[in-house]
């Protein structure tokens, strides 16, 4: 009886396997097999980054050259290790990935490199030297935004730090950069520091908590989720304060909104661009198609930098004429604006970012010949290595007030 | 029962991915499964005695950051490291035991608090992922003995073997007895407080080993390394047919439950299910596996 | 969970007549202890920052605690019936996504869709319950699997990024004011009263206590056992859906991970409130106290100037102390002194 059960289930399983195998191995002969490995999905940033890659892969001539397979492994490094291993075993040509850990995946990546797989990391990085890191992390988000906030505050005031995820190296790098500036100014007092998990709702809740203890806040330095901080201030009936944050459409539109400005909102929108994924994918394709020779290295993506005065709402579907944010009819407030890049990714538009669809009639354009080499960021894109002496130098803004 | 499910899944996996039979792929699978398998083994101990132990996540994170911040080279260093891990687990387990067995707090509540505290300590030791686990540990513990036997599999096998020995002792039987019915166990003259205390302490030691193996695999420190294993360890225990109500089940079945969970990821990957919907299949497979093993064991009992 | 669990847990099955009075005293003591702890925390908070301990902090705590208080009602009922609901993250997200996707801002009169959203969440709870009762899947696995399934289906349904904005009603629920009081505070008070009546005063509540204490005894006593075991899961899922809608109103948008942070706190609130994780014992007022206590603690901890790791250690220690104070033994002693 027990044996019969086993037999039936084996038979059923084999049938399922046959059916699945049939669909999996149909049209994969002479195309490059490229895996897109997300660690988690479900927020605007991650899905835009993935959509851009999907749209590019469906744009001629890549649509004839690439078999793109997406995998979402969750927030568990073990699961991503397992996914990478499966990809290597399945004969991947390249893996484009948002790594969940800068260090835990190294051994698996090394094994993949030895078998000839190209590893391209976007946004988050790994310290394994055989992988390509395409990231803005070395571009100084923390220190530049911190200086911009100090300038707005005239070097005096109580501020909140709305950080990312505890125990995360990206969050640590941003915060270290910011503190390198804040600690120079004795007039700047960090009265509350909380983790917002790069999420609007959590930012709103945590900011609300901090406001009960410190209603006299003068400014907010925020990582992604910044729009939640504005909402928390409005909820509490508090005046808006100068703040810096990342690239959500809600924040950019608020910066340009005269009503919000009248309530006291000032600041700058900078931070992590989802467009990095598309850049990483195109670089990988140019290497695979032998259009480019590039040894594994850390490649810097420029830091987006949009002060309130530069915010310009787009009329069309792409960033033309210097516009840099889409109106609310087109995108939700959580939409991350820096997903398009007229220079690096002219092939895609807002619909690609939202739905992963290619633009009709577009073809893949070659990338600029030069890449910007990123500086060493110990523990982030290399290990062991030495940080450059001017690691926290300002690139986008100058100090207008002296300590 | 769970072994049968594993065999079916493995057959399916090999069918889809013939390279899965290579020695390195098998070792990789073992390495991947070992931390969860050990976490589930420790969890199973507590569950059999009718408790929940959330501190598993805290102990693993704590061991992981300790190994990454204070690496010790060579086989001697590895020995000290593994002892440190087990000591950390023992300490946390003893605190749990004190709270649950002596102070009679509810296990889920007490271990929730110890988990939070351990996570906090881990974050104090290491603020962000980093550090390097000693090379000897990272290489040898994930390697193969005589190029054939995966070391990680061996570690799990030793834990299971030790358990099979313990199970025959009075202590082993007492764990089942207090899980099934604490009152009658106590009436029959067992020192239930002592047994419960030792159960948590022993489970803690096994979590320490899980933390050690996880560190060997990731070769680096992460203050939140243990968190993903929390729910999975319960799922593995339940999948192995151990009743979450206590008194029944075993360590080996839980280890196999963990192995099934890890293998399921591989099978879903190689079957090319659209990534958005992998969760649907994962969840359905979980329910199906439990139903199937329930039906199979009922048929077994009927015979 | 399974039958053997409940049979073994007969220690606390109190006999007919004295039950109500014993329960009321336990309820009073438990709720009072938690309330005293909350007040102590708020007063102590003044040492952390002078701005704390004010009415505006109480208001913030009540609004932030809204979600947990509602969730702990459903979770509490399920735990009372001898189960556990791990599907909350999935169902909260379901409520939020459907509220933005189906209802949306466009039509202010679309409030009548909200009950449909709640019903959809209820169906998820119903499926969990049926799986647990008919297929005999342990509640832990069944509800966890449902959460994974629902979350993944939503990921596919929204293509990874939820669109739409908060419905007008949801925003009014979280941001409006009546008679100078924030609407969520008023709704919260009504919800707590209704929840208390349902759990402690209605016949359904008694059924749930009965199946949670001993299924077989309940069956013999004529309790509709299957119905009483299904009900808590459906109620819990609908509470989660309601929280999803409220969260959307609070932060004007849904995300796919919006429910993740509430699972462990919902269980913690119920257990801190004095419920037995094995079922058959516990009160809603206790859970409310637990939820408010956790939220108060959160606001105060975040105002401490220490690094995050230290704050986490302090938070865990305070939870531990609260749990030690709220132990069963302590109540028994108090109870015996009073007698």
Q: What is the mean pLDDT of chain A?
A: 87
Question: Are both A247 and A183 inside the same structural domain?
Answer: yes
Question: Are both A190 and A132 inside the same structural domain?
Answer: no
Residue B187, Cβ density class (10 Å: 0-12 exposed, 13-18 middle, ≥19 buried): exposed
Question: Are both A129 and A223 inside the same structural domain?
Answer: no
Range with the poorest average pLDDT among A20-24, A121-125, B297-301, C121-125: A20-24
Flag whether pLDDT at A6 surpasses 60: no
CB B97 within 8 A of CB B158: no
Range with the poorest average pLDDT among A265-269, C293-297, C328-332: C328-332
Task: State which H helix or E strand residue A169 sits in.
Answer: helix A169-182
Residue B69: count of CB within 10 angstroms of its CB: 14
Q: Is residue A182 situated within a structural domain?
A: yes
C residues 236..275 contacting B (CB < 8 A): 264, 267-268, 271-272
Residue in C64, C71, C120 with CA at minimum distance from that of residue C239: C71
List CB contacts (< 8 A) between A90 and chain B: 17, 19, 270
A94: Cβ contacts below 8 Å, ≥ 6 apart = A32, A34, A35, A117, A118, A119, A120, A284, A288
Nearest residue of B to residue A82, measured between CA atoms: B32
C311 touches chain A (CB under 8 A): no
Whether B286 sits inside 8 A of C148 (CB atoms) is yes
pTM: 0.82
Flag whether pLDDT at C18 surpasses 50: no
C313 touches chain B (CB under 8 A): yes
The CA-to-CA distance between both ends of chain B, in Å, stands at 15
Structural domains in chain A (count): 2
Question: Are both A122 and A148 inside the same structural domain?
Answer: no
Q: Is residue A4 situated within a structural domain?
A: no
A169 touches chain B (CB under 8 A): yes
Question: Are both A145 and A219 inside the same structural domain?
Answer: yes
Q: Which residue from C131, C152, C309 is facing B279, i.e. has the nearest CB?
A: C152
Given A247, A270, A293, the domain boundary residue is A270
Q: What is the pLDDT of residues B19-43, one digit of tens each?
A: 767 777 788 888 888 999 999 999 9
Q: Is residue A397 situated within a structural domain?
A: no
Flag whether pLDDT at C250 surpasses 60: yes
C78 touches chain B (CB under 8 A): no
Q: Is residue B62 situated within a structural domain?
A: yes
Question: Are both A73 and A151 inside the same structural domain?
Answer: no
Percentage, residues of chain B above pLDDT 70:
96
Whether A10 sits inside 8 A of B262 (CB atoms) is no
Q: Which residue from B113, B231, B244 is facing C138, i.e. has the nearest CB?
A: B244
Q: Which residue from C151, C256, C300 is facing A43, i.e. has the nearest CB?
A: C256
- Domain with A357, as residue range(s), is 32-136+273-303+337-391
Q: What is the pLDDT of residues A176-223, one digit of tens each?
A: 999 999 999 999 999 888 888 888 888 988 898 888 888 889 999 999
List CB contacts (< 8 A) between B289 and chain A: none
Given A246, A270, A294, the domain boundary residue is A270
Whether A201 sits inside 8 A of C161 (CB atoms) is no
Tokens of C37: 């702890």
C329 touches chain B (CB under 8 A): yes
Flag whether pLDDT at B82 surpasses 50: yes
Range with the poorest average pLDDT among B109-123, B269-283, C199-213: B269-283
Question: Are both A152 and A264 inside the same structural domain?
Answer: yes
Side-chain-facing half-sphere of A250: CA atoms under 13 Å: 20
Distance from CA of A44 to the nearest CA of C (A): 5
In Å, how far from its chain's centre is CA A313? 22
Structural domains in chain B (count): 1
Flag whether pLDDT at C207 surpasses 50: yes
Distance from CA of B187 to the nearest CA of A (A): 39
Flag whether pLDDT at C49 surpasses 90: no
B232: Cβ contacts below 8 Å, ≥ 6 apart = B36, B39, B40, B258, B261
Question: Are both A255 and A280 inside the same structural domain?
Answer: no
Q: Is residue A15 situated within a structural domain?
A: no
Whether A209 sits inside 8 A of C298 (CB atoms) is yes
Q: Is residue A354 situated within a structural domain?
A: yes
List CB contacts (< 8 A) between C57 and chain A: 212-213
Q: How far apart are CA A65 and CA A81, in angstroms?
A: 27
Q: How far is CA A374 from CA A278, A314, A378, in A?
A: 18, 31, 12
Flag whether pLDDT at A151 surpasses 60: yes
Strands (DSSP E) contained in A73-170 are: 94-97, 118-122, 132-135, 157-163
pLDDT mean over A108-120: 93
Question: Are both A68 and A173 inside the same structural domain?
Answer: no
- Which pLDDT does position C281 carry in this prediction? 82
Helices and strands counted in chain A (H then E):
13, 12
- Domain with B145, as residue range(s), is 22-228+241-249
pLDDT mean over A255-265: 93
Between A347 and A333, name the one with better pLDDT: A347
Residue in C166, C199, C213 with CA at minimum distance from that of residue C287: C199
Flag whether pLDDT at C339 surpasses 60: no
Question: Are both A190 and A230 inside the same structural domain?
Answer: yes
Whether A81 sits inside 8 A of B218 (CB atoms) is yes
Assign residue A99 the CATH number of its domain.
3.40.50.2300
Q: What is the pLDDT of residues A9-64, one digit of tens each?
A: 544 454 444 444 444 444 445 889 999 998 776 678 888 999 999 999 999 899 99
Q: Is residue B57 situated within a structural domain?
A: yes
- pLDDT category of residue B262 using cuts at 50, 70 and 90: confident
Question: Are both A266 and A143 inside the same structural domain?
Answer: yes
Task: Provide the sign of the torsion angle of the four alpha carbons A52, A53, A57, A61, taken in this order.
Answer: positive
List CB contacts (< 8 A) between B290 and chain C: 137-138, 141
Q: Is residue B286 situated within a structural domain?
A: no
Q: What is the mean pLDDT of chain B?
A: 84
Q: Is residue B75 situated within a structural domain?
A: yes
Which domains can be identified in chain C, with CATH numbers?
3-338 (1.10.3470)
SS3 string, chain B, reads: CHHHHHHHHHHHHHHHCHHHHCHHHHHHHHHHHHHHHHHHHHHHHHHHCCCCCCHHHHHHHHHHHHHHHCCCCHHHHHHHHHHHHHHHHHHHHHHHHHHHHHCCCCHHHHHHHHHHHHHHHHHHHCCCCEEECCHHHHHHCCCEECCCEEHHHHHHHHHHHHHHHHHHCHHHHHHHHHHHCHHHHHHCCCCHHHHHHHHHHHHHHHHHHHHHHHHHHHCEECCCCCCCHHHHHHHHHHHCCCCCCCCCCCHHHHHHHHHHHHHHHHHHHHCCCCHHHHHHHHHHHHHHHHHHHHHHHHHHHHC
List CB contacts (< 8 A) between C8 and chain B: 180-183
Flag whether pLDDT at A317 surpasses 80: yes
C300: Cβ contacts below 8 Å, ≥ 6 apart = A213, C41, C44, C45, C48, C52
Q: Is residue A2 situated within a structural domain?
A: no
Helix (H, G, I), strand (E, B) or coil at A35: strand
Question: Are both A280 and A346 inside the same structural domain?
Answer: yes
Q: Is the ipTM of this complex over 0.85?
A: no
Q: Which residue from A17, A78, A101 is facing B129, i.e. has the nearest CB?
A: A101
Q: Is residue B61 situated within a structural domain?
A: yes
* Helix segments in A295-401, DSSP class H: 350-355
Residues of C251-266 as b/e, b for ≥16 C-beta within 10 angstroms? bbbbbbbbbbbbbbbb
């Amino acid at each position: 009886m027990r044996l019969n059960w086993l037999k039936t289930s084996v038979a059923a399983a084999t049938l399922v396997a046959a059916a699945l195998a049939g669909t999996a191995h149909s049209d994969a002969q002479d195309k490059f097999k490229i895996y897109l490995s997300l660690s988690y999905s479900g927020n605007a940033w991650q899905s835009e980054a993935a959509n851009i890659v999907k749209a590019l892969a469906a744009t001629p001539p890549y649509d004839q050259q690439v078999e793109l397979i997406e995998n979402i492994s969750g927030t568990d490094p073990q699961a991503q290790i397992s996914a990478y291993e499966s990809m290597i075993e399945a004969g991947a040509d390249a893996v484009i990935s948002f790594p969940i850990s800068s260090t835990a995946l190294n051994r698996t990546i090394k094994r993949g490199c030895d078998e000839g797989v190209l590893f391209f990391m976007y946004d988050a990085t790994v310290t394994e030297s055989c992988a390509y890191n395409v990231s803005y992390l070395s571009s100084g988000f923390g220190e530049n935004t911190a200086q911009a906030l100090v300038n707005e505050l005239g070097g005096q005031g109580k501020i909140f730090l709305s950080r990312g995820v505890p125990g995360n190296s990206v969050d640590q790098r941003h915060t270290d950069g910011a503190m390198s500036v804040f600690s120079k100014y004795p007039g700047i007092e960090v009265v509350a520091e909380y983790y917002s998990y790069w999420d609007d709702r959590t930012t709103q809740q945590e900011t609300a908590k901090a406001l009960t203890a410190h209603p006299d806040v003068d400014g907010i330095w925020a990582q992604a989720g910044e729009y939640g901080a504005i909402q928390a201030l409005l909820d509490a009936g508090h005046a808006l304060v100068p703040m810096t944050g990342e690239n959500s459409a809600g924040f950019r539109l608020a910066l340009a909104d005269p009503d919000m400005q009248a309530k006291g909102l000032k600041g700058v929108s900078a931070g992590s661009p989802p467009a990095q994924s598309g850049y990483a994918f195109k670089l990988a394709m140019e290497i695979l198609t032998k259009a480019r020779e590039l040894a594994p290295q850390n490649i810097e993506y420029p830091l987006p930098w949009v002060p309130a005065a530069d915010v310009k709402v787009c009329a069309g579907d792409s960033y033309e004429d210097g516009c840099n944010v889409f109106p609310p009819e087109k995108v939700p407030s959580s939409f991350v604006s820096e997903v398009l890049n007229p220079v690096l990714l002219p092939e895609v538009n807002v619909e690609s970012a939202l739905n992963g669809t290619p633009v009709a009639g577009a073809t893949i354009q070659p990338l600029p010949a030069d890449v910007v080499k990123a500086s060493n960021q110990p523990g982030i894109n290399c290990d062991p290595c030495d940080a450059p002496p001017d690691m926290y130098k300002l690139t986008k803004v100058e100090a207008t007030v002296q300590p | 029962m769970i072994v049968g499910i594993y065999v079916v899944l493995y057959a399916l996996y090999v069918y889809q991915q013939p390279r899965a039979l290579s020695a390195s792929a098998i070792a990789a699978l073992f390495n991947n499964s070992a931390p969860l398998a050990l976490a589930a083994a420790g969890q199973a101990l507590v569950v059999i005695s009718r408790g929940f132990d959330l501190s598993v996540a805290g102990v693993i994170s704590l061991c992981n950051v300790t190994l990454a911040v204070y690496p010790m080279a060579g086989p001697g260093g590895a020995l000290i490291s593994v002892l440190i891990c087990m000591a950390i687990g023992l300490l946390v387990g003893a605190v749990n035991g004190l709270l649950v067995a002596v102070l009679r707090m509810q296990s889920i509540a007490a271990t929730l608090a110890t988990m939070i505290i351990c996570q906090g300590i881990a974050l104090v030791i290491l603020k962000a992922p980093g550090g390097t686990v000693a090379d000897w540990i990272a290489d040898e513990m994930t390697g193969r003995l005589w190029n054939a036997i995966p070391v990680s599999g061996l570690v799990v096998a030793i834990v299971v073997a030790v358990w099979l020995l313990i199970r025959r002792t009075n202590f082993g039987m007492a764990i089942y007895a207090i899980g099934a019915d604490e009152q009658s166990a106590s009436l029959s003259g067992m020192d239930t407080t002592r047994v419960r205390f030792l159960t948590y302490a022993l489970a803690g030691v096994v979590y320490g080993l899980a933390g050690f193996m996880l560190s060997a695999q990731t070769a680096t420190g992460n203050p939140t390394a243990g968190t993903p294993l929390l729910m999975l360890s319960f799922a593995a225990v339940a999948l192995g047919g151990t009743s979450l109500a206590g008194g029944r089940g075993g360590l080996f079945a839980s280890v196999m439950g963990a192995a099934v969970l890890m293998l399921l990821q591989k099978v879903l990957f190689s079957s090319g299910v659209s990534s958005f919907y992998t969760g649907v299949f994962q969840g359905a497979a979980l329910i199906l596996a439990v139903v199937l093993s329930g039906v199979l064991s009922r048929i077994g009992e009927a015979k | 969970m399974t039958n053997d669990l409940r049979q073994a847990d007969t220690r606390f099955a109190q006999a007919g007549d004295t039950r109500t009075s014993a329960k009321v005293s336990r309820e009073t003591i438990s709720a009072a202890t938690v309330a005293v702890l909350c007040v102590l925390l708020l007063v102590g908070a003044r040492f952390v920052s002078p701005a704390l301990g004010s009415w505006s902090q109480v208001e913030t705590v009540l609004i932030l605690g809204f979600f947990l208080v509602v969730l702990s009602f459903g979770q509490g009922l399920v735990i009372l019936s001898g189960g556990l609901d791990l599907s909350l993250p999935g169902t909260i997200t379901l409520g939020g996504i459907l509220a933005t996707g189906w209802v949306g801002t466009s039509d202010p009169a679309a409030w009548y869709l909200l009950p449909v959203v709640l019903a959809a969440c209820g169906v998820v709870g119903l499926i969990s319950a049926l799986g647990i009762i008919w297929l005999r899947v342990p509640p832990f696995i069944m509800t966890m699997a449902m959460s994974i399934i629902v979350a993944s289906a939503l990921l596919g349904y929204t293509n990874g990024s939820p669109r739409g904005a908060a419905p007008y009603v949801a925003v009014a629920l979280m941001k409006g004011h009546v008679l100078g009081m924030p609407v969520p505070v008023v709704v919260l008070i009504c919800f707590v009263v209704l929840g208390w009546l349902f759990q402690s005063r209605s016949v359904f509540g008694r059924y749930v206590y009965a199946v949670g204490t001993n299924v077989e005894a309940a069956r013999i006593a004529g309790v509709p056992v299957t119905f009483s075991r299904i009900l808590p899961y459906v109620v819990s899922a609908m509470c989660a859906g309601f929280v999803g809608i409220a969260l959307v109103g609070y932060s004007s948008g849904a995300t796919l991970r919006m429910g993740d942070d509430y699972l462990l706190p919902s269980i913690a609130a119920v257990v801190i409130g004095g419920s037995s994780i094995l079922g058959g014992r516990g009160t809603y007022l206790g859970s409310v106290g637990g939820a408010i206590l956790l939220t108060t603690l959160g606001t105060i901890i975040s105002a401490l100037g220490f690094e995050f790791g230290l704050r986490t250690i302090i938070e865990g220690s305070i939870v531990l102390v609260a749990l030690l104070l709220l132990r069963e033994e302590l109540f028994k002693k108090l109870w015996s002194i009073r007698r």
